[in-house]
């Protein structure tokens, strides 16, 4: 019987060893997954005990701050009246709905949970201080942003303003915005989510998918100049062009048109004919050089541009794509970056929203260096396109964007939105431009959804934004 008891003992030890092994497996193999599982409230509870860092604009205006009441913090966002101009860009952070925008992208930094913060966190724990996260300083300008939002009024649309020399984004507005401070209210949150017509949570500036219309002619123009020794300078525009048996009507009869005039008066005939001559591969290569098919790395959600699918790439689709219609869908950010390439001698600087990261003591711990992103074209071609854009503002379609005493370069766009379901749909009003034309400091892209013509609706907004950016007001 002693032998049996011994064997039983070995068995009991064996099952305890199994427990130890399984526990070790849980800790080392599954531990990370379990600890960071979204349903595991430990991480959220940890966050609740940290004072989230403040987000400043480039001038030091507080765009988001946590007001600490000893036990819990309340996140307060910059608002003008009842709306937050930065609603979709800065986003929100909420225990119930998670987080979005820069709040989500910079969660670790704002909470001070990066590896660099480990020592400070340990000290906080020992001294039982409430830990405080790092601060963000954005490239955005609260005044410019508010102004751009006000200019859009109650229309849907977006405005992007950036510095072409650095890639720093100065304003990024998506209208309608919402009140970021009010989403705590369940009803408001539901309303925001159910409003599919206005989609207030969508950041139209980076995620909007719009036909670019004539503003794309900047890119098509670059393609034409890049593939031919000299752009054709005597094309006759009878007010329409027939491609593959389809008649494409132009906005008016332009008569004899050269390259500069084609851009200035936005002649569809010129670009349709020349685009067809270029062919799909050349045109798409230029699109790629402008980064239209990719997502700029902006840390907030960005949409890549889309063009006609391979099987739909016929001649008439090519003609329409050349002047920004057809299946082409791009975001305002992409058009702003394309315009920035023209403004910055063909180089697109990597766009960025966060200028620097500061620790709670106010010391700068990380600065974003501006770096070139893409080489879209040559300085010579950029110069020619600029001439066309200056002409557009001086005597062409974009005169409404002219600023007294400053040479402005711009391009209007009126993108058709008519389709089988909606024959009377108003066009999107577009404008992209930069100023001063000979020393560009600011690039602006404006879209007003179904707002009408670019020259009447979008150009005046762009003028105000450019002026505000240059003069500070």
Partner 1 sequence: MLVNLRKEERSLLYYITAFLAVGVLVLYLGQPEFNTAYELALSSGYKLPFWWFVVLLSIGTMTAFWLVSVYWRVAGFKCDPYLMPITASLTALGLIFLFRLRPQYAERQFAWLLLGLLALVMVTTLLRKMDWLADYKYIYVAAGVILLVLPIFFGREQYGARSWLDLGILQIQPSEFVKLLLVTFLASFLAENRRVLSTGNDQILGISIPGIREYGPLVVMWGISLLILVFQKDLGTALIYFCTFLAMVYAATARMFYVFVGMLLFFFGGTVAYHIFSHVQARVDIWLNPWAYISDKGYQIVQSLFAIGSGGLFGSGLGQGLPGLIPAVHTDFIFSAIVEELGLLGGCAVLVLYMCFIFRGLMIALSCRDDFSALLATGFTALMGLQTFIIIAGVIKLLPMTGVTLPFISYGGSSLVANFVLLGLLLNISHEVNGGNETEY
Residues 17 to 76: which contact partner 1 by CB under 8 A?
18-20, 22-24, 26-27, 30-35, 37, 39-42, 45
- When the beta carbons of 41 and 285 are compared against partner 1, the nearer one is 41
* Dist. CA 56–CA 64, nearest whole Å: 7
What's the min distance (Å) between Cβ of 74 and partner 1? Answer: 22
- When the beta carbons of 19 and 229 are compared against partner 1, the nearer one is 19
Structure tokens at 78: 């910059």
Rounded (10°) angle between helices 379-395 and 217-227: 140
Task: Give Rg (Cα) of the chain.
Answer: 27
Q: Is 363 in the site for partner 1 (CB under 8 A)?
A: no
Among 81, 82, 75, smallest CA distance to 103 is for 75
- When the beta carbons of 125 and 418 are compared against partner 1, the nearer one is 125
203-227 as b/e: b if 16+ CB within 10 A: bbbbbbebbbbbbbbbbbbbbbbbb
Binding residue for partner 1, selected from 79, 84, 106, 128, defined by CB under 8 A: 128
Binding-site size for partner 1 (CB under 8 A) equals: 34
- When the beta carbons of 21 and 240 are compared against partner 1, the nearer one is 21
Instruction: Please tell me whether residue 315 adopts helix, strand or coil conformation.
Output: helix
Q: Is 119 in the site for partner 1 (CB under 8 A)?
A: no
- When the beta carbons of 115 and 369 are compared against partner 1, the nearer one is 115
Q: Is 285 in the site for partner 1 (CB under 8 A)?
A: no
* Dist. CA 378–CA 396, nearest whole Å: 25
What's the min distance (Å) between Cβ of 47 and partner 1? Answer: 13
Q: Is 312 in the site for partner 1 (CB under 8 A)?
A: no
Residue corresponding to tokens 């979709």? 88
Structure tokens at 234: 């005597």
* Beta bridge partner(s), residue 84: 178
DSSP state of 456: I
Omega before residue 176 within 30° of 0, cis: yes
What's the min distance (Å) between Cβ of 194 and partner 1? Answer: 24
- When the beta carbons of 13 and 240 are compared against partner 1, the nearer one is 13
Name, in order, each residue with C-beta under 8 angstroms of 390's C-beta and a sequence gap of 6 or more: 407, 408, 409, 437
Phi, psi of 298 (to 5 degrees): -110, 0
- When the beta carbons of 45 and 367 are compared against partner 1, the nearer one is 45
Q: Is 310 in the site for partner 1 (CB under 8 A)?
A: no
Judged by CB under 8 A, the stretch of 6-14, 129-137, 178-186, 277-285 that binds partner 1 is 6-14
Q: Is 123 in the site for partner 1 (CB under 8 A)?
A: no
Binding residue for partner 1, selected from 15, 119, 127, 229, defined by CB under 8 A: 15
What's the min distance (Å) between Cβ of 184 and partner 1? Answer: 23
- When the beta carbons of 9 and 238 are compared against partner 1, the nearer one is 9
Q: Is 130 in the site for partner 1 (CB under 8 A)?
A: no
What's the min distance (Å) between Cβ of 72 and partner 1? Answer: 16
* Dist. CA 219–CA 464, nearest whole Å: 25
What's the min distance (Å) between Cβ of 68 and partner 1? Answer: 17
- When the beta carbons of 35 and 209 are compared against partner 1, the nearer one is 35
Q: Is the alpha carbon torsion for 459, 460, 465, 470 positive or negative?
A: positive
Asked whether 212 and 117 are in contact (CB, 8 A), the reply is no
- When the beta carbons of 31 and 279 are compared against partner 1, the nearer one is 31
Helix and strand element counts for the chain (H, E): 18, 19
What's the min distance (Å) between Cβ of 92 and partner 1? Answer: 24
Asked whether 383 and 426 are in contact (CB, 8 A), the reply is no
Residues that bind partner 1 (CB under 8 A): 1-9, 12-13, 15-16, 18-20, 22-24, 26-27, 30-35, 37, 39-42, 45, 128
């Amino acid at each position: 019987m002693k032998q049996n008891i011994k064997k039983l003992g070995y068995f009991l030890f064996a099952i305890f060893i199994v427990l130890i092994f399984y526990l070790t497996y849980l800790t080392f193999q599954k531990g990370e997954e379990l600890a960071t599982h979204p349903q595991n409230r430990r991480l959220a509870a940890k966050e609740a005990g940290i004072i989230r860092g403040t987000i400043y604009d480039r001038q030091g205006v507080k765009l988001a701050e946590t007001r600490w009441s000893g036990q819990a913090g309340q996140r307060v966002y910059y608002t003008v009246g009842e709306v937050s101009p930065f609603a979709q860009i800065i986003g929100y952070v909420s225990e119930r709905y998670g987080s979005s925008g820069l709040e989500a992208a910079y969660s670790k930094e704002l909470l001070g949970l990066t590896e660099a913060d480990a020592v400070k966190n340990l000290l906080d724990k020992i001294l039982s201080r409430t830990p405080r996260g790092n601060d963000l300083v954005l490239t955005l300008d609260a005044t410019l942003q508010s102004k751009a939002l006000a200019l859009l009024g109650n229309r849907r649309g977006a405005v992007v303003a950036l510095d072409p020399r650095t890639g720093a984004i100065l304003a990024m507005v998506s209208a309608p915005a919402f009140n970021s401070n009010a989403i705590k209210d369940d009803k408001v949150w539901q309303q925001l989510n159910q409003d599919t017509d206005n989609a207030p949570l969508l950041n139209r500036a980076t995620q909007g998918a719009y036909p670019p219309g004539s503003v794309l002619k900047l890119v098509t123009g670059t393609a034409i100049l890049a593939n031919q020794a000299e752009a054709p300078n005597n094309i006759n525009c009878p007010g329409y062009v027939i491609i593959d048996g389809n008649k494409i009507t132009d906005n008016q009869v332009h008569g004899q048109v050269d390259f500069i005039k084609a851009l200035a008066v936005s002649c569809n005939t010129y670009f349709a004919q020349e685009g067809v001559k270029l062919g799909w591969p050349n045109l798409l290569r230029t699109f790629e050089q402008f980064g239209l098919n990719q997502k700029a790395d902006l840390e907030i959600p960005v949409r890549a541009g889309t063009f006609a699918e391979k099987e739909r790439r016929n001649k008439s689709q090519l003609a329409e794509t050349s002047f920004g219609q057809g299946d082409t869908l791009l975001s305002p950010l992409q058009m702003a970056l394309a315009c920035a390439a023209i403004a910055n001698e063909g180089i697109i600087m990597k766009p960025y929203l966060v200028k620097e990261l500061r620790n709670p003591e106010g010391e700068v711990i990380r600065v974003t260096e501006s770096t070139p992103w893409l080489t879209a074209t040559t300085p010579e071609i950029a110069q020619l396109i600029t001439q066309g854009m200056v002409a557009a503002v001086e005597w062409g379609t974009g005169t409404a964007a002219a600023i007294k005493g400053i040479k402005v370069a711009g391009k209007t766009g009126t993108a058709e939105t008519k389709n089988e379901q909606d024959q009377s749909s108003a066009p999107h009003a577009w404008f992209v431009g930069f100023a001063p034309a000979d020393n560009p400091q600011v690039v602006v892209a404006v879209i007003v959804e179904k707002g009408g013509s670019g020259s009447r609706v979008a150009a005046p907004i762009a003028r105000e934004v450019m002026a505000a950016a240059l003069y500070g007001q």
